[in-house]
Chain A
Amino acid sequence: MDYRKIILLVDDDVDLLENTAFMIKGMGHDVFTARDGEDGISKYKDVKPNLTFMDIRMPKMDGYDAFFKIKQIDPAAKVILITAYNQDEKKYLKAKSMSLLDSISKPYSFETLEGIINKYA
């Protein structure tokens, strides 16, 4: 089993996105980034990541819709939603029913990310 994982990060906040990518790279994984839902979907198709971190509040397409699309493309996709508290209950419940792996809250720490990646990727 390959120790090195492919991680996809989707977030519209570039600073946070870059910092998070830097931390995960520091763990020794390959990191791809996307800045909105649509971008995230096309990147997912391209790179087939082992694990995707997806922010919910994003322009163009929000994290839930992007998650639903990805799940349509790849039912086995492993996605972690980055959420404060769930802004849209219906979509959250729907996501849970579509085998959402987990959700984490901002601001997340290095240890949180590391734990999640080790657990699911």
Chain B
Amino acid sequence: MQKGRHKTPLRISYLLIASITVLFLTYAIHSYFTYDFTVNEAKKTTLLRNQAQANNIMQDLDKYIDQKIADFHDLTQIRQIQTRVAESNRNFDPDSDLTELDSQIDAAADGKTTPFLKDVLKNEISDELRDFATAYNNEYNYDVIKELFVTNQYGANIALASGKSDYVQADEEWWQATKNKQIYVGPMKFDSNYNDHVMTFAYPILDDSSDYIGTLSVSVSLRVLLQEFVNDADVVNAAKKTVVLLDENGNVLFENGNFFPTETPKEYFSSITSDNGSFEYTLASPTFVSYASSIGYKDFSGSGWTVVIEQESSVVDEFEELEKNFLTSTLIGITSAAILGVTLSYFVTSPLAKLSKLTMRLGKGDFEAKTPKSRIAEINSIIDSFNEMEVSLKKLFKTEKSLAEANARIKNERLTAIGELAASMAHDMKNPLGTIQSGMDIIKRNTTIDPQIGEVIQRMERAVSRMSHQVEDVLNFVRITPLSLRPVSLNTMINSAIKSVETPKAIQVVVQGDDITITCDEKKMEIVFINLILNSIQSIAGQGKITIRISKANGNAVIEIEDTGSGVPQSVISDIFKPLVTTKQKGTGLGLASCKNIIEQHGGSIKFQNNPTIFTVTIPIPAN
């Protein structure tokens, strides 16, 4: 056989703790993955943004340099310069005039020997260019133009506006480039003459027919070119990022507001492998590095420099803080769930348990049970309802009880009245019955009677006998009198009862068992057996048998009266010992009720069963 599994009922508190824990764990796991994703996204975004910024700055720088190149180029368009250069070419004797001097010529000093050179320093072109340079320097409030001069088509310096310069430039690479009508953009280099980093641009000067007639060379301080860049860098630096400018060898040109802060190349320079990109690198702390290399702009083919934006990766540290917060809040959540569970258990579960005990007590009829107030309003309202129900139930039970009592009293009073009336009537009938009885006796004894009349008299005697039995029934039932106890032989008493009942010849009466002497009121007890035997006789139609068995059991005398009659109809079985219940036309319905009264008065009991019909009388045998 398979037994049903017993499931332990869940407690609200456990359920609560479990569900809140699951909730918080789900939240934590979700948060963890979301966090991971967010951090990566944040990194990516930061790197991309920095890279875009680096691109912009680099582009601005290239554009600015290109613009500067264009600015100086404009000088070659000046008609006066072109004229003077052409003139110089005509007057110049390359064989005698193109001899390098012992020392460089200086724009600030005079007194060079060759007559031609006097013209160089004090001519219109020099004045013109010097004005330009002065204006330019004033604009930057800094000596930005280090060298500015013009050569003729033979490479001789014919106009020096500022700085120092060799007289003959024909051997220079840049001069050769311009002679081929190309604009020269020199590399950035340190010039010890000016104690500054400079960059040299050289432009071919062309005549109207685009023929090469001379060269204009200008060397400018790096600061001029980086002016825009420094502004950009300041803006970016304000956002806690460091802007670094590296040259083609990884040397630092500019970092954090300083030019040439260090002489060592950047350690991560080897990681810069393409035009632009991003990577993480650990400097003093983990750092995001984004870079963009110069790609040039229009005429400017690019400097080979790289703009780098460094940003400490601690910008994503706040996310790590968040991660810790997730953990803490999860732990706090689970702990508070446990506390909540215990609290709920205390405030809800235990009052509920008390309520269930109260209900059990109520069910057992204890209406005095009370449950103490809880601190929870909802529980209290349930407790109040229970207490109200208890009061109502109590009232209901009380009402029902008094109603039942009233009913019983009324019934009793009516029965008593009927009983008294019946007793009085029965007694009053006895005198007339006595007269008839004695009258018949007298007639029988004092006259010679025709046998047919004799039978009539016998019928009358039977009628009187029946009437007097019924009267006895009524009186036996109504009048419960004290017992007149004495030892009586059951055998004798039962046989006497059998004799006093007229038994039809078709019915056999048998008494079995050993005789027992009981202590009883003989007259009353005989009435019991007479009644029971009469009942049996009346239930048998035609042939039949009545068996009376006497036995002992548990200190009791047990008398069973069994008959082969029709038994008792199912409808009256439960009422069989109640007064006025009868199935017979001749019956008063008092016979069995009287029997029960008498037997119970003797401390015994009477039981009944159908199939076969057996009445069982049990009477205690007194010890000794």
Contact = CB atoms under 8 A, between A and B. Distances in A.
Contacts of A23: 438, 441-442, 445
Interface residues of A, number: 23
Contacts of B434: 13, 16, 19-20, 106-108
B431 A19 contact: no
A84 interface: yes
Interface size range of chain B in the complex: 20 to 34
Nearest to B468: A107
Contacts of A19: 434-435, 438-439, 442
Interface in B253-272: none
Contacts of A106: 430-431, 433-434, 468
Contact of B438 (A20, A87, A89): A20
Interface in A1-33: 11, 13, 15-16, 19-20, 22-23, 26
B442 A16 contact: no
A89 B481 CA distance: 7
A26 B439 CA distance: 13
B151 interface: no
B607 to A, nearest CB: 27
B369 to A, nearest CB: 48
Contacts of A109: 437, 441
A112 to B, nearest CB: 10
Nearest to A21: B438
B252 to A, nearest CB: 139
A108 B433 CA distance: 9
Given A19-B438, A26-B442, A107-B464, A13 B476 contact: no
B579 to A, nearest CB: 17
Contacts of A26: 442, 445-446
Contacts of B446: 26
A85 interface: yes
B435 A84 contact: no
Contacts of A72: none
Given A86-B481, A109-B437, A57 B427 contact: yes
A43 B472 CA distance: 32
Q: Which secondary structure dominates where chain B touches chain A?
A: helix
B437 A85 contact: no
Given A84-B430, A93-B482, A15 B437 contact: no
Interface in B407-432: 426-427, 430-432
Contact of A84 (B436, B439, B475, B482): B475
B433 to A, nearest CB: 4
B427 A84 contact: yes
Contacts of B433: 106-107
B420 to A, nearest CB: 11
A69 B59 CA distance: 157
Interface in B468-493: 468, 471-472, 475-476, 479, 481-482
Contacts of B479: 85-87
Interface string A78-108: 0000001111010011000000000001111
Contacts of B436: 107
B574 to A, nearest CB: 30
A87 to B, nearest CB: 8
B482 to A, nearest CB: 6
A57 B52 CA distance: 138
A110 B440 CA distance: 10
Nearest to A96: B484
B210 to A, nearest CB: 168
Contact of A107 (B438, B475, B482): B438
B441 A110 contact: yes
B483 to A, nearest CB: 11
Contacts of A22: 438, 442
A85 B475 CA distance: 7
A89 B480 CA distance: 10
A57 B434 CA distance: 14
Contacts of A15: 431-432, 435
A13 B481 contact: no
A45 to B, nearest CB: 26
A85 B438 contact: no
Contacts of A11: 431
B438 A110 contact: yes
Contacts of A93: 482
Contacts of B437: 107-109
A20 B441 CA distance: 10
A22 to B, nearest CB: 6
A49 to B, nearest CB: 19
Contacts of B427: 57, 84, 87
A72 to B, nearest CB: 25
A109 B479 CA distance: 24
A22 B426 CA distance: 25
A110 B482 contact: no
A26 B446 CA distance: 9
A118 B499 CA distance: 23
A89 B441 contact: no
Given A15-B435, A16-B434, A92-B481, 8 more contacts: A11-B431, A19-B435, A20-B434, A23-B438, A84-B427, A84-B471, A86-B481, A107-B436
18 contacts: A15-B435, A16-B438, A19-B435, A19-B438, A26-B445, A84-B471, A84-B475, A85-B479, A87-B479, A89-B481, A106-B430, A106-B468, A107-B433, A107-B434, A107-B437, A108-B434, A110-B438, A110-B441
Interface of B: 426-427, 430-439, 441-442, 445-446, 464, 468, 471-472, 475-476, 479, 481-482
| Shortest 7 CB-CB contacts between residues of A and residues of B | A107-B437, A107-B434, A19-B438, A106-B430, A110-B441, A13-B431, A106-B434
